[in-house]
Amino acid sequence: MWIDCDVLQADGGTRTAAITGASLAVAIACRKLAEEKKIETPPIRKLVAAVSAGVLGGVTVLDLNYEEDKAVTVDFNLVATEDGEFVEMQGSGEEATFSSDELAGMLVACKKGIGELIAAQRAVLASLMVGTK
């Protein structure tokens, strides 16, 4: 399956938005294919979401906008499954190094953000089930 994502309007986080949106789009498409009996069961095992975080003025910030992204001293992106398994981590000191404590703080913030995104994906999937039975 090939997924092409175009983020038409954003204030930062285009890559993470594309990953999160693509996960939901694939789940919806596979569900539709199963309903149409074109596949036996949807092959999606886990939803995936992605978030960005950073350290700005010594404070961990989640879901950076453009202004925050260009001002952070540390930039961190996390992609994870709905059960918290990591798909990808990418972090770099843009203007400074960062400590284990700062990394731990970004991981906590990212995991919380991914949990909220997965919940939103699940809500969309549940809303699509209404009226289909």
Domain CATH number, residue 33: 3.30.230.70
Asked whether residue 25 is domain-assigned, the answer is yes
Lowest mean pLDDT among 2-6, 14-18, 59-63, 97-101: 2-6
Q: 17-51: per-residue pLDDT in tens?
A: 999 999 999 999 999 999 999 999 888 899 999 99
Residue 46 counted as domain residue: yes
Q: Is 70 exceeded by the pLDDT of residue 120? A: yes
Tell me what pLDDT residue 66 has. Answer: 86
Is 73 contained in some domain? Answer: yes
Label residue 1 by pLDDT band (50, 70, 90): confident
In a domain? residue 120:
yes
Residue 77, SS3 per DSSP: strand
Q: Tens of pLDDT along 65-111? A: 888 988 999 999 999 999 999 999 999 998 889 999 999 999 999 99
The number of domains in the chain is 1
The answer as to whether 8 is a domain residue is no
Instruction: Say which residue the tokens 């260009």 belong to.
Output: 70
Residue 3 covered by a domain: no
Half-sphere exposure of 67 (CA within 13 A, CB side): 0
pTM above 0.85, yes or no: yes
Asked if residue 106 belongs to a domain, the reply is: yes
Q: What is the pLDDT of residue 4?
A: 84
List b or e across 54-88, with b for residues whose CB sees 16 or more CB atoms inside 10 angstroms: bbbeeebbbbbeeebbeebbbbbbbbbbbeeeeee
Q: Give the domain range for residue 103.
A: 14-129
- Is 92 inside a domain boundary? yes
Cβ–Cβ < 8 Å for 111, 80: yes
The shares of helix, strand and coil residues in the chain, as percent rounded to the nearest 5, are: 45, 20, 35
